Amino acid sequence: MSLDDETEVILQKATFGAGCFWCVEAIFERLDGVADVGVGYSGGNSDNPTYDEVCGGATGHAEVIRILFNPEIITYEKLLKVFWSSHDPTTLNRQGGDIGTQYRSVIFHHTGEQRKMAEKLKIDLEKNKIFKEPVVTEISPLINYFAAENYHQNYYRLNSTAPYCLA
């Protein structure tokens, strides 16, 4: 095969916050077309925050996942649908027992197209009354992303029998 016959697939990025990043990472890494999922922090006001700083609530960051995906296999729209069905987007700054702004429901868009798609689907959820309560998911431009510490990466895969993961 010559180089002219090869087509290069350009992976795209999506960044979502939907509660504890350990659990959200486990959901998305199982999807066909997802090349990689990393966990980190976005949306805050300090550089290179630590887990303890983010959990303290003072940095403004959310726990997020960053997804690298092949748009020829899985669309951004499909990722959004998984996002909204994998957590409760009607609770402000909380998912289950995890409480604080770091656990907020948030979509950090990378492009204008991602913003439009996220806003359209959020409006559709409201219009079709998919949830009993209003959807409070924040939709914001991605202004920063900091990878979480190594011990958080692939947490569920490495610790699936830990009590938190079994809850």
Q: Is residue 20 flagged as an active site residue? A: yes
Place of tokens 């079709």: 128
- Residues 6 or more apart in contact with residue 146 via CB below 8 angstroms: 40, 41, 42, 47, 48, 49, 61
- CA–CA distance, 8 with 110 (Å, rounded to integer): 21
Tokens of 165: 């993961």
Strands (E), 19-116: 34-42, 62-69, 94-95, 98-99, 105-109
Backbone angles phi, psi at 24, to 5 degrees: -65, -40
Which of 20, 23, 55, 165 does the annotation list as catalytic?
Answer: 20
| Residues marked as catalytic | 20
